[in-house]
Structure formats: structure tokens, C-alpha cells
A and B are shown apart, each in its own frame.
Chain A
Amino acid sequence: MPANTPLKAKPGRAFLALAGLVVIAAIAFLTLNVQREIRQLGSAQSDNVQWSLAQAEVEYLEYTRQLEIAPTNLVTLRRRFDVFYSRVNTLTTASVFAGLRADPEAQDKLEQISGFLDQTVPVIDANDDVVLARLDDLRAMAAEIRPTVRLLAKSGLDVFARAADQQRALVARTMTQLAFALACLIGALFLGVMYLNRLNAQVAGRERAQSQIATRMNTVISTSLDAMIVSDAEGRIIEFNPAAEAIFGHHAEDVRGKDIAKIIVPDHLRDAHYAGMERMRRSGERRVVGKGRVQLEGKRANGDTFPVELALQSAKTDDGEIFIAYLRDISKRVANEHALVEARDKALAGEKLKTDFLATMSHEIRTPLNGLLGNMNLLRDTRLSKEQDRYLGYMESSGRLLMSHISDVLDITRYDAGKLDTRREAVNISALLEDIVDNQSATAADNETSLEWGWDGPPMHWIVSDHDRLQHVMMNLIGNAVKFTRRGKVSITASVHTEPDQSLLTLQIADTGEGIEDKLVGQIFDDFLIGNTKRNREVGGTGLGLGIAKRFVQALGGKIEVESALNEGSTFTVKLPVTAAEPPAEDTTPPALLQATRTMRVLIVEDNEVNRVVARTMLEADGHIVLEAHDGREGADLAAVEAFDLIFMDINMPVMDGRTAARHIRSAGGVSANVPIIALTANAMASEQADLLQDGMNDVLTKPLSRDALRQVLADYQSAQPTNIWPVVDADHTAETRLALGEVAFAKLTSQFSHEVEDLLQWLGSDDAHDYLDVASRSHKVAGSAAVFGATALREALKVIETAAKTGDHATLRREINTLAPIWSATKHDLL
């Protein structure tokens, strides 16, 4: 049934109602009219008029007859005259004869008759003798008026006949109008009947449709797999479908009319349910109704609670608002979800454990390996027989191979843990390729393979990329190509596709080697994949090379692909998004001396004894003086009192780590506060190196330490006077403040500042629990004062504390608070 039918019907209904009212009003009006006309006919102001006129003539005749009778009876004569007089008087004055008098002819007659009466009255009212004497006069006057009386009666008849005609016409017209109005009413009634008929048909149709819908709805509800529960606004159950019976274990007839909260809401949620209902009744605020699916708990007849998914809707009915709840038992789903989450967590934990294990093991293996390689390095400086020298060479190459495998594994674990950073630096891709080709040319020559590289199209020598990662990838790919190609050709092609803001560098390494089996092509970049051919076994390897290459390329934002045909060769393609880089300014300084020319005092801060001994031995072999510290605290203490030319600082150490120690040394204002500090680390990640430099380190040396690297560093820093000024106080600023304040005020304020800082130090150093917000606000305040006096180092340290306190970075906070005391003592020294 179209929904707009009632709308369409409205104007029609209104029109009919209006028409009906108009017709009824017309009929009422006409009926009143007719009634009035009829009453006028009935109340007949005219009927006895004709009689009166006739009677007037009769009475006139009675009077004249009495005049003729002899002997004359005067009493009777006078009475006859009076009666006639009275009649005429009535005709001339009565309202009922107004119509008659309106007729000029009748009026004329009446006046003549009145004249006759006026003439007669003096005669007839005179005494009897006079009347008797003038009887003849009376007779003559009466005879004279006779025709007039006669004509009056006749003219009256005419007048009243006309009036009657008019009245009849009026009545007839009103009756006609009434008939017309009746016809209209009947027509309107007919239309009304037709309309009602139609409405009736519509209603019947609608009822039919509604009953069909109801049947359909009942079927839907009863066959629904979801529980459907309908309640009234008070929460009393109205409907409880079979699915609800099955899920909740209640019979519909048992629960109908009962409080839904007591039937299906678990005991611990009931108060919340009532509160929700109450809130909705009070404020109309709805948190669940009409808000889609909500996950809640339900209660079965046996008291078990189970998870349900609930969708609640409300509808307005004649009996008030009702709520329709669709509930689905999701115990199974929830159980499955839990199981899945658990399985995933387990898998993730396992994976994490594996990665952690790999990372830890690699690290732990590397430390003694560094010791081995360092000692081999030292062994070389001793007198060796030829055989010993050869064996040492084998040991060294084995050690280096082992180191590279460990680095590979570490790279993989780092990448997979999302910790693999890349640098952004200017890289000369042409030089990089040239170096590798040079490096591999001997191997290629051994395999009787030609090796060449070149640009296809315009070259882009300098790009922004990570040199080491890129070198690793190209080394791996080119190395593989050379290894697996005999009596063939390996060609490397670089090309660049330039776009306005981003260029795409394509590096293609094509060989004519043995190729890759089809079924292995798809897995070639997987970890630990090693081909099954004789050649594979010949060249060996961990099977990690391409996996790492792929990770590095991805870390650089690029893609790596391979095409290969067995026995025909393979082509590896690396595509990298790059931007052109400005070539760095030519380094015009002469190459640094490889060896320091003077004896230097060196402090080695390192917890690992082997590493310490290796470094010490190497340095002492070159004639330098070496002091050792076993942890950061020891190192910092030593630097405070001893003058050094250079400090080597390990990063991960017990008691105090290298970064904290470096900050201590820089800020404590000790004897070696401004000595170059070189960080020693095995984790040469770009981001970490930047952090180290920020902590006051001058350079980073990657473990394992090699003699060459050590010599280079010493050469670099031998001439360096204590250049790395770590200004505790900005002297210019302090001077300005002093000048501005005047000596007295300055002294007063610095003393106040001094108390302020010492209070803070005491507070921070106490074992009381500190509110981080207090820490932040107090640090901020003192940092402001420090800025005024140009106490730069103190201000910076306080700012770091403030930020760490705000972000809740506990480790940084702890570390920075430890550095405050030495910074303050240095500041106090300079400022006061």
C-alpha cells in the first residue's frame, strides 16, 4: 500500500466535508425560509382581511337597511353605524391592512368612506330629534357612498389576490431552491458514499497487506537464528522468539510479562542495566539503543553467563515505546578469537624470543671474536715462522668470514625488528661500482669471465643514499654473478629515469652463468636458501646474502627483482628512488699521517678485558701511554683528575654507561673535560652515532678495533688541542647581565640563584618519591634563572630533565639528574 494514500485522500475528504457543510447550511437556510413563508401563510395576516372587507360592505348594508326601517329605531341605527365606523376605522389603521392601503385606488376609496363617516357622525350623534329630522340626509349620504364601498371590497380582493400570488411565487421559488439544495446534498452524499467505499477498499487492502506482513514477520522472527526479545518501556518482556528460547533456555510463556533484567541480564550487570534504563527514562540519553552492535554478557536459565552480541532498537507503538533486542550467542566466536589471539601471541612471543636469541648470541659471539681478531693482529707483530704466518692467515680469514656471517644475522634480526636505520649521505654511485668491479676483477679473471660496468643514458654520479648498505647489496649481487659465471660475461648497467622531484635509479646485474631453476626463482630472496648444484656446494655460503640484499634495498625504499633461465644466466634488477646529491667539496687537506707523530696519553674506558688488552697493546706498541678504566664511573673520575690527550669510551658498560660518562666528563669541568672522546661500539647504526656525537663524543670507532683504525684516529686527534669546548657558562652573556644589574645586585642574585639550584639538587637527589610534573615545573623554573646568568650547560641539562619528566622517560631522567651535580660545580666555579 503506497504510503502517500492518506495524504492524497486529505484534500478530497476536506472538500467533501466542506461541500456537505455548505449544502446543509443552504438547506437549513432554505428550510428556515420556507418555514417563514409558510408561517406567513399560516399566521395569515391577510386571510380575514378579505372577510373584513366583505364584512365592511355587509355592515354598510346593515346600516342602510336600518335607515329604511320605519319607525326608525335610533339605538339600533346608531349601533349599526358604530359597527360600520369601527370596521372602516380598522381598515384605515390596522397594520394588517397596510398592503391594502398601499394601493392608491383602495386608499382613495378608504378616504372617501372616511369622509362619508366624518360627514355622518355630527348628524347621527346629534339628539334624537335632529337625527329623525335629517333621516333623508343620512339616506342620501349613505346612497352616495354605496358604489365606493362596493368598489373597495372589489379592489381589496384584487390587492390581496396579487399579494397572495406573490407569496405563492416566493414559496415556489424557495421550494425550488430547497429542491436544488436537496439534490446537491444527495449528490454530495453520493460522492461521500463513493469516497467512503474507496477508503473502505483501501483500508481492506491495507489490512490484507498488513496481515501478510505480520505473517511474514512472525515467520521471520520464529525462524531467526538470532534471539529476538521485545520488551516494553518498563523492561517487561513482550516477545521471546524460539531462538531466544534455545539460547537462554527459557520458555516464552514463562517469561512473557517478566522483567527482562531478571531473565537474561547477569547479576553483576543488573545494576548497570537499571541505571541505563533509568537514565534513558529521565534524560532520553541512549547509549546502546540504535547504536549498532554491542558486545555484552547474557545469562542462561541455569545461571551460566555467556558473551552475546546485542543490537537494540526502539519503536513507538500505541502502547508506548518498545525495545527490540537482537541477541546472538557468540561464546564460540569469542572462544575462537581468544584461541587465535593466544596462538598469535605465542607465535609472536616465539618469534621475538628467536630474534632476541639471535641478536644476543650474535652479540655475545662477536665480543670474543673481536678479541680473537685483535690478538691475531697483535700476533702478526711478533716473529712468526713461515708456517705460523700461513696458519695465522687462515685463522684471520676464517675469523673475518665468521664476523661477516654474524653481521649478516644481526642485520637480519635488526631489519625484522624494525631497527635497521639507513643514513642519508652523498654517495658516488660510479665510484662505488668502480671499486666493486675492481675488487672482483681478479675473481672474474680466475673464472675466465669478463666483468664490465657502465651507464646507460646520462649518468647521475652523486645520489643521496646509504653508502655502506648500497655497497653491501651491490657487492653481494656482483659477487654472486662473478662466482656463478665461468667463461662468460657479467655486465653491470646503471641508468636513471629522472622525474622532477624524484628519480629512479636502476642497477642491473646480468650474467651468463648457470641460471636459477624455475622453482627456486620465487624463493631466491628467502633466508638460508642455498642452491642444490655442484657449483653451489663449491662456492658455499650461509644463504643469507640475497635475503639481506633484499632487506637493505627495501630499507632504502627500493625493489629488487630477478629474471633467470637455467643455463643461460640471471639478471638482477635493483630499483631505488633517489635524489641527486651535490658532490661534497674536495677534501684539499693533505692525507692525514697514518701514524701519530707524538706520544699521547690515552684513557681506555672498557669493561671487556680482552678488548681492553688488545687496544692497550696496539696503542702501547705505537709508543703511547695508556690508562684503563673498567666502567664509566671509573673513567669519569679518572678524567676529572688526570690530563689525557684522547679518551676511548665503550658504550655498554656496567655501573655507568659510556654516554653518561662522556657527559660527566664534559660537564664536570675536570682536568680532561675538553679532551676528545672516541666512542667504541659494535652497533654502528646511523641514529645511534648521531646520539653519541650529541652526548659530547667526538667520533665513533666501530669494533672490532683494528690497528689501522686506531692509528688513523690518533693521527686525526694528535694535533687537536682541547678544541671541543663544552661551555659551561656563556661568559659574554654573564658579563652582560653583570653590567646590566650592577655589581651588588648581581652578587645578590647569583647567591639567590645558587641557593635555588642547590635546593633543587638536594630535592632531586633525595630518595623521596617525586611527582614528574613537580620535577618538570621546578626544573623549568631553575632553567629560566640559569638562562639569565648564561649558565648554558645547566640550562640545557635542566631542559632535558623537564622534557624527560613530562614524557615520563624514566631512564633519561635518572641519567640527567646524575649529571647535574658535576655541571653545577663547574658552573659555580665559572660563575662565582
Chain B
Amino acid sequence: MITRFRATILGLMLAFGIAIPAGASDIAVPSGTPILTISGDIEKTNVGDTLVFDADTLAALGSVEIETSTIWTDGVDTFQGIPLKTLVDLVGADGGTLLASAINDYTVEVPVSDAVENGPILAYLLNGAPMSVRDKGPLWIIYPYDQNADYRSEVTYSRSIWQLDRIEVVR
């Protein structure tokens, strides 16, 4: 609940254009366990050529919630996570493809054009709780399937990669 509350506050701050020191300038080198590594053609880095996030630095980007059902779960769930658009904007990717890979090295291609307002998020909370690997954690790309019928397609389902741990931006 606290996480969710914090995320809501953050979302509000973002919505009102209030400056967030960490998001506004550089992303701090993660102090906790890294959960996401972005590489490739990116404008921002913190560890070598890559931009690495732990749970806190990722959450600091500002989270949103999506309530939707999925074909892999039973019933409607609440997913909380970082809009893909926020991430793409952060790394200055304005075109090309994201190669999203899971911890089992399974990789899908997500076009940068998928990163839109009210589009997909990188979910890290399922019904308010962090997702373990057994629960398709730590990150899961979730599209608002219930909200937009266009997302209920095979292509989108295939891009909804779970157990995500790295993204490579390819122009």
C-alpha cells in the first residue's frame, strides 16, 4: 500500500509538472539489486554504456496503474509500473526498436512507436505486491488490453514479455 501511495504521489507530481530531482537530471547508480538494464543507442547512462535501475530508481520515474485482465491471468488485476513512454523519453529513443529480453534470454521486438500515452507499462507491482520470477517478475510489459481493443491482438500479446530484465534500444 505504501508503495502504491508513493507511486500515486509521484504520478501526481509528474502530472503537475513538479520537478523530480532524480528524474530530471541523471539516474543515480543503483544501490540495490539491479532489475533493469537499458543498453544500445541511448542518451543517458549511469553504469558504463548502460542505464541500470534498481527497484527504487525505477519507481522514482513515476508509476501509473492499469486495471485489466490478461489472457495469462484469471480475472481483472491491477498492475502498477512505469509507462514505456517515460522510459523511452528518458533515453531519448524517438524511433527504432526495443529489444526486450527475459531472464531466460527470450527476446521480443517492441517498436518504439508502441510507447504512447495510456500505452504499455513496465509493471513491477501486481495487485500492490512485487512480482517474483515465479509470478512473471521482476518486470512485465503490460498493455491496457481491456481499455483498448487494438491491444487484444496476437502481436501485442507476443510483445507482452514477462520476467523482463533488459532492453536494448536499436535505431
Contact = CB atoms under 8 A, between A and B. Distances in A.
A667 B40 CA distance: 156
A89 interface: yes
B163 A83 contact: yes
A437 B120 CA distance: 151
Interface residues of B, number: 22
Contact of B153 (A43, A62, A83, A93): A43
Interface in B66-112: 69-74, 102-104, 106
Given A43-B153, A48-B154, A83 B133 contact: yes
Contacts of A95: 69, 71-74
A752 interface: no
A89 B133 CA distance: 11
A86 B153 contact: no
B44 interface: no
Interface in B150-171: 152-154, 157-158, 162-163
A630 B167 CA distance: 162
B93 to A, nearest CB: 26
A42 interface: yes
B73 A85 contact: no
A83 B157 contact: no
Interface string B110-121: 000000000000
Nearest to B154: A44
A802 interface: no
B154 A83 contact: no
A43 B133 contact: no
A86 B154 contact: no
Given A83-B104, A85-B134, A86-B133, A94 B74 contact: yes
Given A93-B74, A95-B74, A48 B134 contact: no
A111 interface: no
A749 to B, nearest CB: 118
Contacts of B73: 93-95
A699 interface: no
A80 B162 CA distance: 14
A59 interface: yes
Nearest to A117: B134
Nearest to B74: A93
A90 interface: yes
A491 B121 CA distance: 151
A815 to B, nearest CB: 119
A42 B134 contact: no
Contacts of B158: 48
Contacts of B163: 83, 86
B46 interface: no
Given A42-B153, A42-B154, A96 B104 contact: no
Interface string B42-82: 00000000000000000000000000011111100000000
A56 B146 CA distance: 27
B134 A89 contact: yes
A598 interface: no
Nearest to A45: B71
Interface string A58-82: 0100100000000000000001101
A96 B135 CA distance: 17
Interface in B119-156: 132-136, 152-154
A89 B72 CA distance: 9
A796 interface: no
A47 interface: yes
B75 to A, nearest CB: 9
Contacts of A93: 72-74
Contacts of A90: 72, 136
A82 B154 contact: no
A59 B104 contact: yes
A48 B74 contact: no
Contacts of B104: 59, 62, 79-80, 83
B132 to A, nearest CB: 7
A761 to B, nearest CB: 119
Nearest to A52: B72
Contacts, number: 55
A797 B157 CA distance: 130
A86 B136 contact: yes
Contacts of B133: 79, 82-83, 85-86
Given A59-B104, A85-B134, A86-B134, A43 B74 contact: no
B154 A47 contact: yes
Interface string A231-252: 0000000000000000000000
A727 B163 CA distance: 150
A34 B72 CA distance: 26
A580 to B, nearest CB: 120
Q: Name the residue among B70, B104, B132, B153 with the largest chain A CB count within 10 angstroms.
A: B104
B69 A43 contact: no
Contacts of A47: 154
Contact of A86 (B69, B70, B135, B152): B135
Nearest to B75: A95
A80 to B, nearest CB: 8
Nearest to A76: B103
Contacts of A59: 104
Contact of A82 (B72, B132, B153): B132
A550 B4 CA distance: 141
B74 A79 contact: no
A691 to B, nearest CB: 119
Contacts of B74: 93-95
A125 to B, nearest CB: 10
B15 to A, nearest CB: 33
A83 B103 contact: yes
Interface in A609-630: none
Contacts of A43: 152-154
A53 to B, nearest CB: 13
Contacts of A62: 104
A59 B106 CA distance: 11
Nearest to A62: B104
Nearest to A59: B104
Contacts of B72: 90, 93-96
Nearest to A41: B154
Nearest to B137: A86
Nearest to B152: A43
B121 to A, nearest CB: 19
A45 B69 CA distance: 13
Contacts of B70: 94
Contacts of A82: 132-134
Contacts of A83: 102-104, 133, 163
B71 A96 contact: yes
Nearest to A88: B134
Contacts of B154: 42-44, 47-48
A233 to B, nearest CB: 62
Contacts of A80: 104
A79 B71 contact: no
A217 B104 CA distance: 97
A375 to B, nearest CB: 146
Interface in A93-115: 93-96
Contacts of B152: 43
A94 B71 contact: yes
B71 to A, nearest CB: 4
Contacts of A42: 153-154
30 contacts: A42-B153, A43-B152, A43-B153, A44-B154, A48-B154, A48-B157, A59-B104, A62-B104, A79-B104, A79-B133, A80-B104, A82-B133, A82-B134, A83-B104, A83-B163, A85-B133, A86-B133, A86-B162, A86-B163, A89-B135, A90-B72, A93-B72, A93-B74, A94-B70, A94-B72, A94-B74, A95-B69, A95-B71, A95-B74, A96-B72
Interface of A: 42-45, 47-48, 55, 59, 62, 79-80, 82-83, 85-86, 89-90, 93-96
Closest 7 CB pairs of A and B: A82-B133, A96-B71, A94-B72, A44-B154, A85-B134, A83-B104, A82-B134
Given A83-B163, A86-B134, 10 more contacts: A79-B103, A80-B104, A86-B136, A86-B162, A89-B134, A90-B72, A94-B73, A95-B69, A95-B72, A96-B71
